[in-house]
Amino acid sequence: MTELRIGLIGCGGIASGHLAQYEKASGARVTAVCDILPERAKAYGERMGVPEDHWFTDYRELCACPDVDAVDICTPNNVHVPAANAALDHHKPFCVEKPVGVNAAEVEALADRADTLGIPSMVCFSYRFKPAARYAKSLVEQGLLGSLVQVYASYLKDSAFWPGRRLEWRFDGAIARYGVSGDLGVHILDLASFLCGDVTSVCARMNIAIKERQREDSDEIAPVTTDDACSFLATMKGGADAVFSVSRIALGNGNHITFDVYGTEGALRFDLDHDDRITVTRRNHEGRNSSVETVQIPESFRAGQQQTFINLLHGIRDPYLPTLRDGLRMQRVLDALMTSAETRAWVDVV
């Protein structure tokens, strides 16, 4: 495999995780880094052995750099689509963090442009790469569950209570647009669609529990404008009903995803604190007690997110690749959640 050259945009928390994956992956290396804060570009540039003249503060310069073949976008939400468009300006493939954008219209325009140009891309719906999710998908595809009737999913964190947190971009609707709905909810929504088909309508309640925080660059106290918690009901295309709950104010939860799918013939349960196992229930037609078994997931279901991106760049496409069209479907659900919470009504996902 020839070694392709990756340019990283946004040198923050998740980018560190991407770099750790590139350090282990084959077929690519990081050759340029970019952050609006030069000290962050420097830190990640040094970590990856990137020469100083390839530490950028403007993502357009990184995208134009002849030593970059593909771009990895790890900025706050409102920069994703502009940075992806800058990559497309130079006909460069990209992967982009979730949610793809800050509204469905900008994501649709991006997806259309990428399709027209024929440039490959991937959305970092990270939990699709978990063995439990992939194994669950294979069981659903084999028909083990029969017709899917119910989904219960939750994604709970307590990150809003981390000491000293100021009004970072996640708490600012002008940058993030969505709070936990877009930050955490989008992951379990993607998993639900991955396993059970599209979400067709939602009814949501959002809550901002910690109402104000100190600005990052001054003493001023300003309002938090993104949701700390979001619970919603949903209908799925295949006929299942779903119940979702996401939170960054659930004390005691570091990063806890639970997922149950119920069908007419069986059920699946996974808890991503233990992503190498899944509980499988098969209906017993002779009596009341169904068989319940915890299954260790075979190694073959393991996939690395950034290795999958590199493989895509080399023309090897993962069958479960999260695409921009998947990202667009999620964006439409996120927009519907916002409308539903504002209007206190069921909203169709269009």
Ligand X SMILES: NC(=O)c1ccc[n+]([C@@H]2O[C@H](COP(=O)([O-])OP(=O)(O)OC[C@H]3O[C@@H](n4cnc5c(N)ncnc54)[C@H](O)[C@@H]3O)[C@@H](O)[C@H]2O)c1
Q: Which residues of this protein are in contact with ligand X, per CB under 6 A?
A: 9-15, 34-37, 40, 59, 74-77, 79, 97-98, 124, 126, 183
- At position 114, the amino acid (one-letter code) is A
Cβ nearer to ligand X, comparing 71 with 79: 79
Cβ nearer to ligand X, comparing 69 with 183: 183
Phi-psi group of 98: left, alpha or beta (phi > 0 → left; psi -120 to 50 → alpha; rest → beta):
beta
> What Å distances lie between residue 247 and 29, 155, 287, CA to CA?
35, 7, 39
Quote the least distance from Cβ 169 to ligand X, whole Å.
6
Quote the least distance from Cβ 149 to ligand X, whole Å.
29
Cβ nearer to ligand X, comparing 59 with 232: 59
Which residues make Cβ contacts (< 8 Å) with residue 317, sequence separation at least 6?
A: 311
Quote the least distance from Cβ 225 to ligand X, whole Å.
16
With 0-12 CB in 10 A as exposed, 13-18 as middle and 19+ as buried, what is 117? Answer: exposed
- The H or E element containing residue 114 is helix 104-117
With 0-12 CB in 10 A as exposed, 13-18 as middle and 19+ as buried, what is 2? Answer: exposed
Quote the least distance from Cβ 304 to ligand X, whole Å.
13
- Which residue has its beta carbon closest to ligand X? 12
Cβ nearer to ligand X, comparing 172 with 263: 172
Cβ nearer to ligand X, comparing 93 with 99: 99
Quote the least distance from Cβ 95 to ligand X, whole Å.
10
